[in-house]
Amino acid sequence: MEEIVNKVAQSALTTIDLADYFPKGETVVFDIKDHLFMELILKEKDFRAGLQVLDWEKYRGKNVAIVCTADAIVPLWAYMLVAACLEPVAAYYAFGDEGFLHHTLFLKNIGTLNVEQFRDQRVVIKGCGDKTIPESAYVEVTRLLRPVVKSIMYGEPCSTVPVYKKKS
């Protein structure tokens, strides 16, 4: 009987699962609308006073999306004040809705990838999984890896699509 050889296991492929870089932690929204007079007008003195008495602990360790859902003119410094208040307590914060915050965190997490560990390797970026990975994550990991790897493929080790191959 002929021995079955697992050629995929023997190949020198390194797989990166972008789901490992999926943002973690709870996400909440800070809506400036809730701190405006009649949800329309920013009165500086009242706004500052309101921020001073706000219980910022409810944002401790959370990812915070800063938005204003009212059709109001909000001066840029107001967003800066909110950010300054969140800095000591929030895990991360950004201007934008929850989707934008999630996207920003995803790219930030991918940015922590130590690309040197993949130098001159053949890398497969995993293509299937339980979590939806945004297109931008695939673009970002390609941007980071291309200068150092021997090749980049997409998919599963048993069935890959070539993306990049270093010319010898």
Read off the pLDDT band of 7 (50, 70, 90): very low
Identify residue 56 by its one-letter amino acid code: W
The pTM is what? 0.79
Characterize 75-93 residue by residue with b for buried, 16 or more Cβ atoms within 10 angstroms of its Cβ, and e for exposed. eeebbebbbebbeeebbbb
**Tens of pLDDT along 68-85?**
999 998 999 999 999 999
Mean per-residue pLDDT for 118-142? 91
Beta strands in 23-97 (DSSP E): 27-31, 63-67, 92-95
Is the Cβ–Cβ distance between 18 and 137 less than 8 Å?
A: yes
Identify which of 89, 80, 26 has the alpha carbon closest to the alpha carbon of residue 54: 89
Sign of CA dihedral 7, 8, 10, 12: positive
- At 138-159, the pLDDT tens digits run 999 999 999 999 999 999 888 8
In the chain, pLDDT over 90 holds for what percent of residues? 76
DSSP class of 41: B
- Rounded to the nearest integer, the mean pLDDT of the chain is 90
pLDDT above 80 (res 6): no
What mean pLDDT is predicted for residues 30-42? Answer: 90
